Amino acid sequence: MTHALRVLVFLLLTLALPVTGFGADKKPVVAVLATGGTIAGGAESDTATIGYKAAVFGVDKLLAAVPSLGRVADIRAEQVFQLASENMTPAHWLVLGKRVNQALKDPDVAGVVITHGTDTLEETAYFLNLTVRSDKPVVITGSMRPATAISADGPINLFNAVCLAASPEARGKGVFILMNDTIFAARDTTKTNTFRTDTFAAPDTGPLGVMQLGRPLFHRLPVRAHTVSTEFDIATLTSLPQVEILYGYAGSHPAQVTGALATGARGIVNAGTGNGSLPDASKQAFAGASAKGVVVVRASRTGSGVVTRNGEVDDDALGFVAAGNLTAQKARVLLALALTVTADRARIQKMFDTY
């Protein structure tokens, strides 16, 4: 090849580089799956932070409110649902979980972000923590103020969530809840306030870390099994067993249990007083349900602490399962998945001690 031809080939290659993007710093690909909620909510007035309509704006509008995302990741956006999360159901969890697993199978995808209403965000997050079949980051976020509000928290939560999902250091740490600059573990975290932007908290364990300038700073790691270490496979599931939650209080009526059984429930979680205590009048009703093969799990209404097996109640004698430090709403998620595998109480108790 003559010298002149070599020079010509070099110039053509150099000119082609920017066009092909070859050699440019390729940005990570992050899938953003939108489901509705307040983060997609709107109101007539920019001061209306309550009394707005949730789930009105599409995912493209949410992304348009965060132009800086363009320098963080290549976004693949999808509107999976458009609903206020009080209307989420286990059927929605299954659809979303399968969609997340499908997105994560793509070798180009670095992580997934889900935008979601905050009311039941913690339940969806824990379900995904038990069913995502990948160690890539999955980050679920939302907002407490609608997109139309002054100082809406949705855009910064979405920015932080995408940054976290794109971060290599976020791999292998389970499903995250990202709100208010804070990184939470899906298992430990719950909504604690009806309207404040700092509503999410992990009363027993605290957060996993924080986001600063688009980078995660982790303080600790989750200790319970999650994602690729769980035994639950939803790929072939089309529904989840019915599990009901009952609430304990002074004078609660044993007929609560009858009502729960009337739904066809295969499991009942009781958010009991204190350490998952049951009033004598109800204890027999729960024991009757257990004797019929319904799995009874004792949780607590306190919101933190551990419900101890055989502590306040003889679980061994009554065939009950102790929820440990899972809240009632999280215990319901685990029990529903457990019942897709077994009804054996000893195996289910081991699952509550593991996940």
CB of 144 to ligand DAS, least distance (A): 6
CA distance 222 to 241: 27
List Cβ neighbours of 27 (8 Å cut-off, separation of 6 or more). Answer: 71, 72, 73, 74, 166
Selected from 33, 54, 162, 183, the binder of ligand DAS by CB under 6 A is 54
Catalytic residue chosen out of the listed positions 2, 14, 35, 38: 38
DSSP string, 213-243: TTEEEE-----S--GGGS----TT-S----E
Q: What are phi and psi of 316, to 5 degrees?
A: -60, -45
Cβ-based nearer residue to ligand DAS, 69 or 140: 140
- Residue 308: both structure tokens together: 């101890």
Q: What does the alpha-carbon distance between residue 284 and residue 70 come to, in Å, rounded to a whole number?
A: 60
Say how far apart CA 252 and CA 122 lie, in whole Å: 27
Structure tokens belonging to residue 185: 């573990």
CB of 142 to ligand DAS, least distance (A): 5
* Residue number, 144 or 265, with CB nearest to ligand DAS: 144
Between residues 85 and 190, which has the closer beta carbon with respect to ligand DAS? 85
Report, in Å, the least distance between residue 117 CB and ligand DAS: 2
H or E element in which residue 290 lies: helix 280-291
Kindly state whether residue 148 participates in binding ligand DAS, applying the rule CB under 6 A. Answer: no
Q: Is 137 in the site for ligand DAS (CB under 6 A)?
A: no
User: Is residue 123 a contact residue for ligand DAS (CB under 6 A)?
Assistant: no
Stretch that binds ligand DAS, among 67-75, 112-120, 157-165, 212-220 (CB under 6 A): 112-120
**Joined tokens for residue 283:** 């204890």
What is the Rg, in whole angstroms, of the alpha carbon atoms belonging to the chain? 23
The widest CA-to-CA distance across the chain, in whole angstroms, is 98
What residues have CB less than 8 Å from 24, skipping those under 6 apart?
Answer: 17, 18
Q: Does 111 bind ligand DAS (CB under 6 A)?
A: no
How far apart CA 346 and CA 52 sit, in angstroms, is 46
142 lies in the binding site for ligand DAS (CB under 6 A): yes
Q: Is residue 191 within 8 Å of residue 118, measured between CB atoms?
A: yes
Closest distance between ligand DAS and the C-beta of residue 231, in Å?
30
The reply to whether 46 sits near ligand DAS by the rule CB under 6 A is no
Q: Annotated catalytic, 38?
A: yes
- Type and span of the H or E element at 318: helix 315-318
Mark 241-270 with x for binding to ligand DAS (rule: CB under 6 A) and - for no binding.
------------------------------
The reply to whether 84 sits near ligand DAS by the rule CB under 6 A is: yes
Asked whether position 85 contacts ligand DAS by CB under 6 A, the answer is yes
Tell me the window of 18-26, 113-121, 205-213, 262-270 that interacts with ligand DAS (CB under 6 A): 113-121
Question: Is the Cβ of residue 142 or residue 276 nearer to ligand DAS in the bound state?
Answer: 142
Does residue 38 interact with ligand DAS by CB under 6 A? yes
Q: Would you count residue 86 as binding ligand DAS (CB under 6 A)? A: yes
Binding site for ligand DAS (CB under 6 A): 37-38, 54, 84-86, 117-119, 142, 144
Catalogue the active-site residues.
38
